[in-house]
C-alpha cells in the first residue's frame, strides 16, 4: 500500500471537482459580465448616435402639447380630434422616456463597473 486512504483519495477527487465547479461558475459569471457590459455599451452607443434627433422630437412633442393645451384653454368644448392627437403625442413621449431610462440605466451600470475596475486594477 502507498499509505493513502480511500477517504484521502475521495477528498482529493471532491476537492478537484469543487475547484472545477468554482472555475466553471467563475467562467460563467465572467461571460455574463462581459455580455451585459457589451449590451450596455451598445445601448449607450445607439442612444448617443440618435441623440440629436431624439432631442428634436422631444422638443416637437413639447410644442405640440403646449399647442393642444392652448386649444383646450381657448375652447368651450372638448375636441375629440385634439384628444386623440394628445394621446398619440403622450404615447410617443412615454415610449421615448422608456428609451431614455434604458440609456441612463446603462450609463449608470457602466459607471459603476468602471469605478470598481479603477479601484481594483493598477494603472
120's grid cell: 481594483
How many residues are recorded in the chain?
Answer: 123
Please write the tens of the pLDDT for every residue from 9-33. 566 656 667 778 878 888 888 888 8
What residues does each domain of the chain span?
6-120
1: confidence class by pLDDT, cuts 50, 70, 90:
very low
Please write the tens of the pLDDT for every residue from 46-97. 999 999 999 999 999 999 999 988 888 888 776 788 888 889 999 999 999 9
pTM, full prediction = 0.69
Would you say 68 and 89 are in contact if contact means Cβ atoms under 8 Å apart?
A: yes
Mean pLDDT, residues 94-109 = 94
The percent of residues above 90 in pLDDT, for the chain, comes to: 46
Q: How far apart, in Å, are the Cα atoms of 63 and each of 19, 57, 58, 60?
A: 62, 10, 9, 5
Amino acid at each position: 500500500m502507498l499509505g493513502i486512504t480511500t477517504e484521502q483519495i475521495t477528498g482529493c477527487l471532491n476537492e478537484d471537482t469543487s475547484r472545477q465547479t468554482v472555475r466553471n461558475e467563475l467562467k460563467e459569471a465572467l461571460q455574463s459580465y462581459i455580455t451585459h457590459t457589451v449590451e450596455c455599451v451598445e445601448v449607450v452607443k445607439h442612444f448617443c448616435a440618435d441623440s440629436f434627433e431624439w432631442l428634436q422630437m422631444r422638443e416637437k412633442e413639447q410644442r405640440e402639447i403646449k399647442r393642444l393645451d392652448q386649444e383646450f384653454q381657448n375652447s368651450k368644448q372638448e375636441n375629440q380630434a385634439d384628444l386623440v392627437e394628445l394621446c398619440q403625442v403622450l404615447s410617443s413621449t412615454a415610449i421615448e422616456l422608456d428609451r431614455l431610462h434604458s440609456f441612463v440605466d446603462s450609463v449608470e451600470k457602466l459607471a459603476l463597473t468602471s469605478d470598481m475596475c479603477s479601484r481594483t486594477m493598477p494603472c
